[in-house]
Amino acid sequence: MSVKRKIWAKAADGKAIYRYTITNAKGSSVVLSNIGAGIISINVPDRNGKLADVVIGYGKAESYFGDGPCAGKCPGRFANRIAAGKFSLDGVEYTLPVNNGPNHLHGGPEGFQNKVWDSRKSKGGVEFIYVSADGESGYPGNMKVMARYDWTENDELILTFTAKCDRPTVVNLTNHAYFNLNGKGSVLRHYLKLNASEYLPTDSTLIPVGEPEPVAGTPMDFNNSKTLGRDIHKDFPALNYGKGYDACWCIDGYTPGQLQEAAELYSKLSGRVLKVTTTQPGIQVYTGNWLEGCPEGKKGRIYHDYSAVALECQHFPDSPNKPEYPSVTLRPGKLFKEAIIFAFSVR
Taking CA atoms, 83 is separated from 98, 104, 203, 231, 310, in Å, by 9, 7, 11, 28, 22
Tens digits of pLDDT across the chain (347 residues): 999 999 999 998 999 999 999 999 999 999 999 999 999 999 999 999 999 999 999 999 999 999 999 999 999 999 999 999 999 999 999 999 999 999 999 999 999 999 999 999 999 999 999 999 999 999 999 999 999 999 999 999 999 999 999 999 999 999 999 999 999 999 999 999 999 999 999 999 999 998 999 999 999 999 999 999 999 999 999 999 989 999 999 999 999 999 999 999 999 999 999 999 999 999 999 999 999 999 999 999 999 999 999 999 999 999 999 999 999 999 999 999 999 999 999 99
Which residues are tagged catalytic? 176, 312
What range defines the domain where residue 133 resides? 2-346
**In what helix (H) or strand (E) does residue 312 lie, and over which residues does it extend?**
strand 309-314
* Conformational region of residue 102, where left means phi above 0, alpha means psi within -120 to 50, and beta covers everything else: alpha
pTM of the entire structure? 0.98
Q: Distance between CA atoms of 342 and 322, rounded to whole angstroms? A: 29
CB atoms within 10 A of CB 45: 19
Q: Say which CATH number the domain at 40 has.
A: 2.70.98.10
d(C-alpha 309, C-alpha 320), whole Å: 26
Pairing relationship of beta strands 169-170 and 178-179 according to DSSP bridges: unpaired
Phi, psi of 182 (to 5 degrees): -100, -15
Q: How many structural domains comprise the chain?
A: 1
Residue 32's nearest CA partner among 137, 122, 142, 163 is 122
What whole-number distance in Å separates Cα of residue 311 and Cα of residue 287?
9
CA–CA gap between residue 58 and residue 35 (Å, rounded): 12
If you count DSSP H runs as helices and E runs as strands, how many of each does the chain have, helices first?
1, 26
Strand partners, 9: 17
Q: Are 99 and 105 in contact (CB under 8 A)?
A: yes
Collapsing DSSP states into helix, strand and coil, what is residue 121?
strand
Task: Decide: 85 and 96 in contact? Cβ < 8 Å.
Answer: yes
* Amino acid sitting at position 213: E
pLDDT of residue 242: 86
